[in-house]
Amino acid sequence: MIKTLRAISKQDKERFVVPKGVQDVIPVTAIYSDGIFRIGKDKFTKTFKFTDINYAVASREDKEEMFLEYSELLNSFDSGATTKITINNRRLNRLDFEKSILIPLKGDYLDEYRKEYNQMLLEKATGANSMVQDKYITVSVCKKNIEDARTYFSRVGNDMIAHLSKLGSRCTELDVEERLRIFHDFYRVGEESSYHFDIKENRQKGHSFKDYICPDSMEFEKDYFKIGDRYGRVLFMREYASYIKDSMISEITELNRNLMLSIDVIPVPTDEAVREAESRLLGVETNITNWQRRQNANNNFSATVPYDMEQQKKEMKEFLDDLTTRDQRMMFAVLTMVHTADTKEQLDNDTEAILTTARKHLCQFATLKFQQMDGLNTAMPFGVRKIDSFRTLTTESLSVLMPFRVQDVFHENGIYYGQNVISKNMIIADRRQLLNGNAFVLGVSGGGKSFFAKGDIVNIILATGADVIIVDPEREYGALVNALGGEVINISATSKNHINAMDMSEEYGDGANPVILKSEFIMSLCEQFVPLGAKEKSIIDRCTANVYRGYQQRNYTGKVPTLKDFREELLRQEEPEAQSIALAIELFTDGSLNTFAKQTNVDTDNRLICYDILDLGKQLMSIGMLVVMDSILNRITQNRAKGKATFIFIDEIYLLFQHEYSANFLFTLWKRVRKYGAFATGITQNVDDLLQSHTARTMLANSEFIVMLNQASTDREELARLLNISDLQLSYITNVDAGHGLIKVGSSLVPFANKFPKNTKLYKLMTTKPGEGTAA
């Protein structure tokens, strides 16, 4: 036997003790608060959790890169320790799941919409996979004491985190509560929400930690076991195929059941592996020489060496080449898998399905006979290995057992955005949990952009206490806003709705003197009509301070100054420049375009506001956008003081990039809005036009949440370059139905489908298809 294997077997050797209780089945002897377990006398184990990556939808080049990076991770495993890679399929607790996604009723007029939305969510949840796949790496090592083990795990952990981060996977250490939860949820299916473990409290009471995680009963039969009322079976991989596809592991773990698949890896030092390979090669060559000698003794000088001997020699040479020239390592691996079901019949059917999947890949799984208990403890991430069905593999052949598949997005208290096309799980995301919650919704006309945005608005209004502000240049949101009790503000020269351009709250100005920021705004306003030099700017700054002095002295109460007051203040100044500015803005204060020079007569405190700017003419567009943007900024700063979130939706955002001030405002908004507790969303179909602007390009790169629906060919190419999208991922935004596409949440890029039931009031309010919607 090879030296490394002999040493590991000696370490793992222990006296067999018949378990007298359920607790005795759990092979852990001591636990520590940092998540280290002691197994047996002097073996310590620690578990690291790592996140999935988008391997299934990556391009061929990206897959190769991930494969090589994963091989490097395997090569980094320490030969003095055993490493276990575990894939844990666990079903979400239905009650907890529904509780976390359903919108609670509040007893107001919006409850009829909440009931409708909840019904849709329940239907989606029933059709969803409801399975979550967790991935773990458990390292086991023999050390004299816990301090030595801590030092070792700290070094190994940092190395592992660095390798996985290169793959795009996030790796974290599990503490004792998180680690025990894995076993609790496996042993006690349906009781996931009742898990409460506190190690300090546990020590004070003198209880065994095993009492918190073990099931009520366990029975081990010849080829299956029972945990309480559930049935389980442990399988192991008996035969490997010569060529295995990288999709095999993901296909086997696709089963919609609670299961764990573990690969125990024992790396062998390269010098020892080379000696072993050379020794075996020498043995094969000796056999060939002896065979030839026998043939010569029989005067058979033309005999060719038998195929099996020739093949053995060729394979041993290849194996030796791998070790010496291709940076491969020799590894021993054991693959075990435990799956559970509600009935014995279901268990047998599941076992047959797994065996069939393995046979499809020319591999053979087999049931462990009379070793179900040892198999169960081996398959679970305790860090023990009690099954010795070793297979000798190189790094490359072990890398083929790729644990990665596709990322799922499931944030606590998030919003439903559709279903993952690959895993069939619901996409529940919370933009507030991202580095910045800014978003873009991109797609061709008819791709479902406005519908997606309206779905987001509905969810925010029904489920959260946040405010929503919409800039609507195409008059598409009126019906929805009115139905949800919002305020639609029509802005035009002839509109009865007025917004005072001089509106200002105490919070305006980010904690500084609000007049300073307002002065800048009025300068931008005046700049639209007359070129401003240093003199003009000084006059505007002086007049702004004078106009607001009384309002500030009244502690921001009473009548707010208007542009008329500002013009009158300009006329009171002696400088000729003041007279010329006053004359330039006369049209917008006393003339026919004076809509922004009147007191605000709309409810700007409503939590849902829609600015309808369809009728803003060319003359009013620049000043109109300035006032709308300033009004939005005013609201954001007010909400920040209240600790309230604000969501801003700007439809057809490319129109705003045609005006310099609004483009600059958006750029600033995208960069600073996170500090204000606000989240901006840009919606546009002209992606190509948008990407021509350097400002828009930077904003897109600064957005952690991007929804890509059906795209035109030129737009697809631009987005692929900007966001590094593979050809396979591009197929999800090429000639697809409305509501289908790709969604980027942080670093995750997930194909999604979002179908909304048509026979609902919400659908009629949200759709923009002619003949389907409710009139605005």
- Quick: pLDDT tens for 513-534: 778 777 877 887 787 777 778 8
Asked if residue 453 lies in contact with residue 680, where contact means CB atoms within 8 angstroms, the answer is no
In a domain, 771, yes or no: no
Last residue of one domain, picked from the residues 383, 399, 415: 399
Q: Residue 679 falls within a domain, yes or no?
A: no
- Structure tokens that stand for 280 in this block: 């075996």
Report which listed range, 1-5, 58-62, 259-263, is most confident. Answer: 259-263
Q: Is-contact 382 39, C-beta < 8 A?
A: yes
Residues 278 and 262 in one domain: no
* Structure-token pair, residue 321: 């080449």
Q: Residue 259: which pLDDT band, with cuts at 50, 70 and 90?
A: very high
> pLDDT tens digits, residue range 573-591?
888 888 888 888 888 788 7
Assess whether pLDDT exceeds 70 at residue 309: yes
AA identity, residue 731: S
Asked whether the beta carbons of 182 and 136 are under 8 A apart, the reply is yes
Q: Give pLDDT, residue 1.
A: 56
H or E segment at 119? helix 111-127
d(CA 238, CA 366): 6
**DSSP assignment letter at 490:** E
Tell me, yes or no, whether 476 lies in a domain. Answer: no
Can you give the pLDDT at residue 775?
Answer: 44
Which string of DSSP letters, residue by residue, matches 294-352? HHHHTT-TTPPPPHHHHHHHHHHHHHHHHHHHS---EEEEEEEEEEEESSHHHHHHHHH
Whether 124 maps to a domain, the answer reads: no
The per-residue pLDDT for range 621-650, each reduced to its tens digit, is 777 777 888 788 888 888 888 888 899 998
**pLDDT recorded at residue 187:** 92
Where are the alpha helices (H) located in 128-207, listed in sequence order? 146-167, 176-187, 199-205
DSSP state for residue 410 in the 8-state scheme = B
Q: What angle do CA 713, 716, 722 make, to 5 degrees?
A: 150
Sign of the C-alpha dihedral computed for residues 397, 400, 401 and 402 taken in this order: positive
Where helices occur in 380-490 by DSSP H, the ranges are: 395-399, 449-463, 478-483
Residue 595: pLDDT band with limits 50, 70, 90: confident
Structure tokens at 667: 């750029």
Highest-scoring range by mean pLDDT, 127-136, 197-206, 462-471:
462-471
Segment 591-617 shows an average pLDDT of 81
pLDDT tens digits, one per residue of 456-468? 999 889 888 889 9
Give the residue numbers spanning the domain of 302.
272-313
| Full DSSP string of 346-376 | HHHHHHHHHHHHHHHTT-EEEEPSS-HHHHH
Spatial distance between the Cα atoms of 288 and 317, rounded to a whole number of angstroms: 14
Question: Worst-scoring range by mean pLDDT, 87-101, 550-564, 606-620?
Answer: 87-101
Length of the chain measured in residues? 776
Q: What is the mean pLDDT of residues 198-227?
A: 87
- The answer to whether 113 touches 103, Cβ cutoff 8 Å, is no
Q: 389 and 514: one domain?
A: no
Query: Cα(672)–Cα(648) distance, rounded to whole angstroms?
Result: 13
Position with higher pLDDT, 79 vs 48: 48
Check residue 637 and give its pLDDT.
82
Does 456 map to a domain?
no
For residues 349 and 292, state if they share a domain: no
Side chain identity, residue 313: K
Extract the tokens encoding 192: 């996931």
Q: How far is C-alpha 512 from the chain's CA centre?
A: 37
The predicted model scores a pTM of 0.77
| Count of C-beta atoms within a 10 Å radius of residue 105 | 13
Residues 15 and 163 in one domain: yes
Helix axes 576-584, 563-571, angle to 10 degrees: 150
Same domain, 232 and 149: yes
| Mean pLDDT of the 343-358 span | 94
State the pLDDT confidence band at 411, using cuts at 50, 70 and 90. confident
Please check whether residue 114 lies inside any domain of the structure: no
Helical axes 563-571 vs 534-553, angle rounded to 10°:
120
| Mean pLDDT score, 289-307 | 89
Give the pLDDT confidence of 740-769 residue by residue, as tens digits: 899 988 878 889 998 888 888 888 888 877
Mean pLDDT score, 593-606: 80
Q: What whole-number distance in Å separates Cα of residue 136 and Cα of residue 142?
A: 20
Report residue 482 as tokens: 């009115």
DSSP code, position 703: -
**Beta carbons within 10 angstroms of residue 432's beta carbon:** 17
Domain boundary among 344, 379, 399: 399
Query: Do 334 and 375 fall within a single domain?
Result: yes
The type of residue at 698 is T
| Side-chain half-sphere CA neighbours of 212 within 13 A | 22
Is the alpha carbon torsion for 119, 124, 129, 131 positive or negative? negative
pLDDT of residue 773: 55
Res 659 pLDDT > 70: no
Among 562, 584, 599, identify where a domain stops. 599
Instruction: Dig out the tokens for 7 from the structure.
Output: 């040493």
Query: What local confidence, expressed as pLDDT, does residue 770 receive?
Result: 61
User: What's the pLDDT band for 661 if we cut at 50, 70, 90?
Assistant: low
Maximum pairwise Cα distance, the chain: 127
Query: Quick one: 333 and 358 in the same domain?
Result: yes
What's the CA gap between 528 and 484, in Å, rounded? 36
Residues 350-358, mean pLDDT to the nearest whole number: 94
Neighbouring CB atoms inside 10 A of 771's CB total 5
User: Domain check: are 156 and 43 in the same one?
Assistant: yes
Q: What are phi and psi for residue 588, nearest 5 degrees?
A: -95, 0
Could you tell me what percent of the chain has a pLDDT over 90?
28
Given a cut of 90, whether residue 149 has pLDDT beyond it is yes
- pLDDT tier at 509, thresholds 50, 70, 90: low
Looking at residue 63, what is its pLDDT?
A: 87
**For residue 170, what are the CA distances in angstroms to 26, 166, 714, 742?**
29, 9, 34, 22
The number of distinct structural domains making up the chain is 3
Query: Is 608 a member of any domain?
Result: no
740-745 and 705-708 as β-strands: parallel, antiparallel, unpaired? antiparallel
Q: Average pLDDT, stretch 593-613?
A: 83
- Report the C-alpha gap between 349 and 301 in whole angstroms: 57
Whether 440 and 706 have beta carbons less than 8 Å apart is answered as yes
* pLDDT level of residue 492 (50, 70, 90 thresholds): confident
Residue type at position 1: M
The token pair at 623 is: 């000043």
Q: Is the pLDDT score of 363 beyond 80? A: yes
Asked if 370 and 25 touch (Cβ cutoff 8 Å), the reply is no
Order of strands, sheet of 415-420, starting from the edge strand that comes earlier in the sequence: 426-429, 415-420, 748-753, 740-745, 705-708, 439-442, 678-684, 646-650, 467-472, 608-612, 487-490
Q: How confident is the model at residue 172 (pLDDT cuts 50, 70, 90)?
A: very high
Let me know if residue 446 belongs to a domain. Answer: no
Q: Which is nearest to 594 in space by CA: 623, 633, 561, 625? A: 623
Greater confidence, 176 or 199? Answer: 176
In this predicted structure, what is the pLDDT of residue 497? 80
Mean pLDDT of the chain: 85
Say if residue 126's pLDDT is above 70: no
Q: Is the pLDDT of residue 127 over 90?
A: no
Tokens 């305790």 belong to: 382
Split at pLDDT 50, 70, 90, the class of 776 is: very low
One domain for residues 516 and 590: yes
Q: Is residue 342 located within the same domain as residue 389?
A: yes
14 or 127: whose pLDDT is higher?
14
Half-sphere exposure of 559 (CA within 13 A, CB side): 7
Residues 143 and 235 in one domain: yes
Q: How far is CA 183 from the centre of its chain?
A: 25
Angle at 206 between CA 200 and CA 208, to 5 degrees: 90
12 and 29 fall within a common domain: yes
> Are 581 and 456 a contacting pair, CB within 8 Å?
no
